[in-house]
Chain A
Amino acid sequence: MIEESRMAPVSNVSLERRAWNIRRKALLMGEVQGQGYIGQALGIADVLAASYFHAMDYRPADPEWEGRDRFLLSIGHYAIALYAVLMEAGILPEEELETYGMDDSRMPMSGMASYTPGMEITGGSLGHGLGIAVGMAMGLKRKNNNAFVYNLMSDGELGEGSTWEAAMSASHHKLGNLICLVDFNDQQADGKSTEMLSAEPVVPKFEAFGWHAQRVNGNDLAAVVAAFDAARAVTDDRPRVIVFDTTMCKGVPFLEQRDITHFVRVEADEWSKALNVLEEGKPA
C-alpha cells in the first residue's frame, strides 16, 4: 500500500484506493451522459491520484490559494477525469457529479476555467497548456513563490508546434518549477499517435531541449510516485517532464480489450457492467 504523503497529509486512504475512486467517479459521470472520454479517464487515473494525493499541495476549500501548486489541464477533453479527482480531493462538491455535461452544469464536457473550481485554464484547443505553464512558472519565480506548475498534456499535443516553442522557452528561462506530464496512450482522433505523426523518441527530444526527462508506466502507481519524487528532487533549474505510457480504459478489462478508439463507445447497459467489474478489484 502506497500511503498518501503530501506536505499536509489529510487521510490514511491509500493511493490505490484514490485511483480506484477516480475511476469509479468517472464511470458514474459517463453513465449520467451515456458518453464521455472514459478511455482517457481510466488510463490517467493513477497519474491524477499521484498528482493530487502525493505530489501537490493545495487547500480544497480555497482553490485559488496563492500557495497552491498549479495544475493545468491542457487537454480539455480529459475534463471528466479531472472532475473525478477534484471531487475526490474535496475541491468540487460530490453532489454535482450527476450534473456532468448537462445544461447549466459546472462540469461541461470540455474543461473551462470559468465553469469549475480547481480548473486553472480553459483547455481543449490543444497545444495551449505548456505555453501558459511557462508564463505561470515565470510569474511564480518573480513572486518568489515556491509552488510548482504541473501541465497535463497528451501525446497528440506533441504534434503541435506551440508545444516545442514552449519546451525550448522553459529550459532557456530555467523554469525548474515546471513539471510537464505527458499521457502517452498512443491514441489520437484518427488513430494511433505513433502511426500518424510519431513524436518518438520523446525522452531524447525533451533532453535535447534542455529538460530533465523520465518515462514510466503510467499505470504502475509505485513507478508513477517515484517519477514524481525524482522530478521534484532535481536540484538544478531544468524544467522536468514525465512521459507516462498508459493503457486506455485501464481497470475495466472488457473495455481495455475492445477495439480502442479516441472516443470509446460504451453501450447504455455497459456502464453498470463496468462499475461492477471495477467493484471486484476494489483495493482496501
Chain B
Amino acid sequence: MTHDSHARRYEQRKVTPKENRVATSAMIASLAAEGYDTEPAPFGHALVELAKTREDIVGLSADLAKYTDLHIFANAYPDRFYQMGMAEQVLVSAAAGLAREGFTPFATTYAVFASRRAYDFIAMAIAEENLPVKIVCALPGLTTGYGPSHQATEDLAIFRGLPNMTIVDPCDAVDIRQMVPVLADHKGPVYSRLLRGKVPSVLTRYKPDYQFQLGRAQLIREGKDVLMVTSGFMTMRALDAAERLSKDGVDVAVLHNPTIKPLDRATILAEAGRGGRLVVTAENHTIVGGLGEAVATTLLTNGVTPTFRMIGLPDEFLEAGALPTLHDMYGISVDGIVRQIKGWI
C-alpha cells in the first residue's frame, strides 16, 4: 500500500543535455533589473532613519534578519531588536503583544512563512484586534528558483481575505524607502512585500516627482492603446515592456498600484474608463485572488467593461530553477509581457 499522488513523478523528468544547461540562481540575494541603478537595503536604512524620531519602533525577525535587511536596524538599535529564532508563530504573536503595550513592531520573515505558517496568529492576534503591526516579507511571489517551499505565489490572495489588513506590493527602492514611515503612521496592521539586497531604483526615472502614497495608484507612463495596471516588480517589467512595444507602434500606459488593499478604485475606474484601451493587469502572484481579480471585480461591479486580460503566475506549484528561466516560462519577464500583449492586440 503506497500513495500514488506523486509516486515516481521523478521518473517523468527529463534532464537537459549538457550544452543547454543554465546554472541556477536559486540563491540570489537581489532581483536584477537591467539598466537601472540600485540602492542597498532600502528597507533597513529607512527603518533606521525613522527610528531616530520614533521611540515606539521595534524590530523582530524569525531567523531572517540578514535576509530581510532588518540586520541594518538590528545593528543600529540592538536593544530595540528581538531575534525570535525560527519560530514564525511567536514572531507575530509577540509583535501583537508589543503593539498592545504601545510599540510599533516591524516583524520580518519570508512571505511564504508569514502567509502560510503564521496566518492564524496574524488573523486573530493582530488583524482582528486591528493592531499596528507591520509584517514585512522578502521573497514575494516568484523571486527565488528554490521551489514551492520558498515561492510565495498566493500571499496576496491569503491576506486579501483578511479584514483590517492593508496590503502593499512595492515596486522598487523608491517605493520601499518612502513607504516605511507611511506604514508606521498607518493605524492598523500592514502586510508588505519586500525586495532586499541591492534593489533597483526605477519609478523616479519615469516620474521624477514620484512619491509613494498608501492607497493610491499612480500613472507612471501614458499610452493610448493599452493600460497596464501593475504592482510590485511587475511595474518595472511593464515599463520595460512598454518601451519595447512602443518601438512596434504599440502605446502602453502603466498605472502602478502598490496598495493591493484597500484598492484605489477611483483611479482604476477612471483610467480603465478612458476610451477604448485594452486593460491588462500584471502581478508577481497567482492569477487566483490577487491584483488581477481585484481589478476585475472593481470594473465589473461598476459597469466598466473594457477588453480585459491578466498576466500572472499559473494556478500551480511552480518549478525550481534559474529565476530568469522561470520568469520567461511563466510569462512574467519583459519578453513574456511583450509576447502576451502582442498576442492580444
A residues neighboring B (CB under 8 Å)? 33-35, 64, 66, 76, 96, 98-99, 101-106, 108-110, 112-117, 119, 122-127, 143, 156-157, 159-161, 188-191, 193, 196-197, 263
CB neighbours of A159 from chain B (8 A): 63, 85-87
Given known A-B contacts A108-B147, A161-B87, A102 and B66 have beta carbons under 8 A apart = no
B146-A124 in contact (CB<8A): yes
Closest to A98 in B: B18
B148 contacts across to A, CB distance below 8 A? 112, 122
Please tell me if the beta carbons of B7 and A64 are within 8 angstroms of each other in the complex.
yes
A190 to B87, CA, bound (A): 13
From residue 123 to 155 of chain B, which have CB atoms closer than 8 A to chain A?
A: 145-150
List of A residues within 8 angstroms of B9 by Cβ: 113-115
Q: Which of B1, B2, B21, B71 contacts A103 (CB 8 A)?
A: B21
Question: Of A76, A109, A117, A125, which contacts B27 at CB under 8 A?
Answer: A109
Cβ contact within 8 Å between A113 and B320: no
When chains A and B are docked, how far (Å) is the Cα of A211 from the Cα of B84?
Answer: 26
- List B residues 309-343 near A (Cβ within 8 Å): 320-322, 325
B contact set with A: CB distance below 8 Å? 1-2, 6-11, 13-16, 18, 21-24, 26-27, 61, 63-67, 71, 83-90, 112-113, 116-117, 145-150, 320-322, 325
The 3 A-B residue pairs whose C-beta atoms are closest, nearest first, are A197-B85, A124-B149, A108-B320
Q: Which residue of B is nearest A263, CB measured?
A: B27
Known: A108-B24, A119-B10. 14 other contacts (CB 8 A): A101-B24, A102-B21, A105-B15, A106-B13, A108-B320, A115-B320, A117-B8, A122-B148, A125-B116, A143-B1, A189-B63, A189-B67, A196-B63, A196-B85
Contacting residues, chain A, for B116 (C-beta < 8 A): 125
Contact of A160 among B23, B66, B86, B322 (CB under 8 A): B86
Closest to A123 in B: B149
Contacts of A105 in B (CB 8 A): 15-16
Q: Let me know if B15 and A104 touch, CB within 8 A.
A: yes
> Do A110 and B320 form a contact, CB below 8 Å, given A102-B16, A117-B10, A143-B1?
yes
Bound form: Cα–Cα A116–B9 in Å: 9
Interface contact B147-A103, CB-CB below 8 Å? no
**Which of A117, A143, A196 makes the CB contact (< 8 A) with B83?**
A196
Give B42 Cβ to nearest chain A Cβ, in Å.
20
A126 to B86 CA separation, bound complex (whole angstroms): 9
* Residue among A76, A108, A113 with most chain B CB within 10 A: A108
Whether the Cβ atoms of A99 and B16 lie closer than 8 Å is yes
B321 proximity list for chain A (CB < 8 A): 102-104, 108
Cross-interface CB contact of A104 among B14, B64, B113, cutoff 8 Å? B14
Contact residue among A76, A103, A156, A196 (Cβ-Cβ distance under 8 Å from B16): A103
Nearest residue (CB) in B for A32 is: B23
* Contact A190 to B63, CB < 8 A, known contacts A124-B150, A196-B85: yes
Known: A102-B22, A189-B63. A96 touches B85 (CB 8 A): no
In the complex, what's the smallest C-beta–C-beta distance from A58 to chain B, in angstroms? 14
Known contacts A66-B2, A123-B149, A188-B63; is-contact A103 B84 (Cβ 8 Å): no
Residues of A within 8 A of B14 (CB): 104
